[in-house]
Amino acid sequence: MSTDVKINRGLKGIYFERSGVSHIDGAKGELSYRGYSIHDLATRSTFEEVCYLLIFGDLPSAIELADFDARLKTARSLPPAIYDIIESTKAGHPMDVLRTAVSALAALEPQSQNVGEDAFIENGIRLTAQVPMIIAAHEHIRNGRAPVPADPSLSHAANWLYMLKGELPSDDAARLADVDFILHAEHGANASAFAARVTVGTEANLHGAMVTALATLAGPAHGGAAEDVMKMVQEIGTPDKAAAYVKAKRAAREAVTGFGHRVYRAEDPRARHMREGVRKLGEEMGAPVWYEILQGVVEAMKPYSRHGLNVNVDFYSGVIYQLHGIPMDLYVPIFAIGRMPGWVIQCIEQQRGNILIRPLTLYNGPELRDYVDMSDR
Ligand SMILES: CC(=O)SCCNC(=O)CCNC(=O)[C@H](O)C(C)(C)COP(=O)(O)OP(=O)(O)OC[C@H]1O[C@@H](n2cnc3c(N)ncnc32)[C@H](O)[C@@H]1OP(=O)(O)O
Ligand SMILES: O=C([O-])CC(=O)C(=O)O
């Protein structure tokens, strides 16, 4: 057993592949998709345009966008058996229900077994349209209501809110959801995209990779952070208690949720758009206290920021969802709605010139020893 092997636990700082999709400059706190700054995309683009950009590599022309939008809208349907599966699992966490339903779609829709780039694009577009339908249907079914059918006249974000709430969202609410999806759409070799790539590396189909990605996103160190931030804000209760909360967490050497990132050593560039969203929405709704609590935590964390420890994308998103009256356990599924195109393109990149992803673990168990029969143990 070699002892001089360098082990990179958590694959920190390791390049395992090349990717032409998103670029993250962790030191400067910059992010771009296909060469376009996240700030331009968040202020000037729509989620549909960003999906097209991520999957096909360039911003769409008006005709290309209309065609892509029509494909997404045509895909807004679920086999009836999915509603039965949601009914029988309705008491579970929405992320478990979503993952189970996506897994069932693989068994129910024969085209999900197809592999190759065209199949991944086709199945990726279908799943991108179906994922919000599953989440919204579950929310209605668990509350004893019938699911709200999709409205083909609405954008992806507006239709999501319409299916969830059963009423047309305001333009501002739809745009905020649209921006949220754009900001969450893609982020390189994050844990869930990496997990999806591992699945595709075995030549498995896209639905299998999406199940892997959903399972991986659910954890509190990744997509689960927004839900935990909202719980933290509720626990803190009033802005004057934020400093004491942070002090106690740091004294116990516990992580403050919504802070920290494997790659960023400056503020996550996505956070600024969500921060502005919380501030504006809180003021408009006469509930500025949530924003004030969050800013109290940011202030109290400053002495601990020597490693560039800063807020990440999910520090502000939970409060936006709360102000929209969305249940806390839907926060991770909302992240998944936005991340669909990122996962799809990561899987497409993986299967171009595919290679099995199979690193090594350095053995540190017992030396070879003699087998002892049961009667002698
Ligand atoms: C969309 C996303 O997935 S973004 C991430 C969402 N997750 C969260 O918000 C959960 C809270 N954050 C964390 O748990 C971590 O920051 C992670 C898991 C995201 C990243 O962890 P790592 O890459 O292992 O962080 P890393 O080890 O480089 O941390 C550097 C230092 O900052 C500290 N640190 C990191 N995150 C936090 C935090 N949230 N609160 C307090 N201290 C922290 C570490 O303890 C470490 O300090 P030390 O050197 O004195 O021991
Ligand atoms: O990149 C990461 O490690 C996590 C993250 O911010 C994301 O997936 O959006």
Distance of CA 151 from the midpoint of ligand 2 (Å): 31
Residue 226 pLDDT level (bands cut at 50, 70, 90): very high
pLDDT of residue 82: 98
Q: Using CA positions, which residue lies closest to atom 3 of ligand 2?
A: 190
How does pLDDT run across 326-374, given as a tens digit for each residue?
999 999 999 999 999 999 999 999 999 899 999 999 999 999 999 999 9
CB 339 within 8 A of CB 217: yes
CA–CA distance, 135 with 271 (Å, rounded to integer) = 25
Domains and CATH numbers, the chain: 22-221+329-351 (1.10.580.10), 225-323 (1.10.230.10)
Residues with CB under 6 A from ligand 1: 221-222, 225, 255-262, 307, 309, 312-314
- The string over 279-295, giving b where at least 16 C-beta atoms fall within 10 Å of a residue's C-beta and e elsewhere, is bebbeeeeeeebbebbe
Confidence band for 110, pLDDT divided at 50, 70 and 90: very high
Can you give the pLDDT at residue 285? Answer: 87
309 CA: nearest ligand 1 atom: 32
pLDDT at 4 over 90: no
Which amino acid does the sequence have at 112?
S
**CA distance readout (Å), 31 to 191, 306, 335:** 17, 22, 18
Indicate whether 166 pLDDT > 80: yes
For 58, which DSSP code?
A: S
Instruction: Tell me what ipTM this predicted complex has.
Output: 0.96
Protein residue whose Cα sits closest to atom 7 of ligand 1: 221
Q: What ligand is nearest to the CA atom of residue 24?
A: 2
Q: With 70 as the cut, is the pLDDT of residue 3 above it?
A: no
From the CA of 222, the nearest ligand is: 1
Burial category of 63 from C-beta neighbours within 10 Å (exposed 0-12, middle 13-18, buried 19 and up): exposed
Pocket of ligand 2 (CB under 6 A): 187, 190, 261-263, 312-313
Q: What is the pLDDT of residue 307?
A: 75
Q: Which pLDDT score is estimated for 308?
A: 81
Interval 316-330: pLDDT, tens:
999 999 989 999 999
Residue of the nearest CA to atom 1 in ligand 2? 190
